[in-house]
């Protein structure tokens, strides 16, 4: 991951390792990186425009999903039927 800024101090417009950076950002959003991940994230977002955009898009999507997805109870019969079918497949 090349994290150098351009000579004007602005964010890079292209990421040299998009796939790896996006995996890193998603790991951080998933809480898999601990406190050290926050420093890595902030440094990356300060220097790379594609990563900055991806992070904020991913964050917005996750926020919408949290607010729109509600837990609803499943009928006991349905849950039992699903368990039985899974056992039959095994």
| Structural domain spans, the chain | 18-89
Q: What is the mean pLDDT of residues 7-35?
A: 78
Look at phi and psi of residue 34 and say left if phi exceeds 0, alpha if psi is from -120 to 50, else beta. Answer: left
* 9 vs 59, more confident: 59
Eight-class DSSP state of 30:
T
| Token pair listed for 85 | 């079918």
Eight-class DSSP state of 48:
B
pTM over 0.75: no
Number of helical (H) and strand (E) elements in the chain, helices listed first: 4, 0
Residue 44, burial from CB neighbour count under 10 angstroms (0-12, 13-18, 19+): buried
Mean pLDDT across the chain: 80
> Which range (5-9, 14-18, 73-77, 79-83) has the least confidence?
5-9
> Which range (3-7, 10-14, 50-54, 63-67) has the least confidence?
3-7
């Amino acid at each position: 991951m090349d994290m150098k800024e351009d000579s004007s101090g602005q964010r890079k417009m292209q990421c040299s390792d998009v796939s790896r950076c996006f995996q890193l950002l998603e790991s951080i959003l998933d809480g898999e990186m601990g406190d050290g991940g926050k420093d890595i994230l902030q440094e990356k977002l300060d220097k790379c425009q594609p990563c900055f955009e991806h992070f904020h898009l991913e964050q917005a999507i996750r926020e919408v999903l949290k607010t729109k997805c509600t837990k609803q109870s499943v009928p006991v019969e349905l849950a039992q039927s699903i368990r039985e079918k899974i056992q039959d497949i095994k």
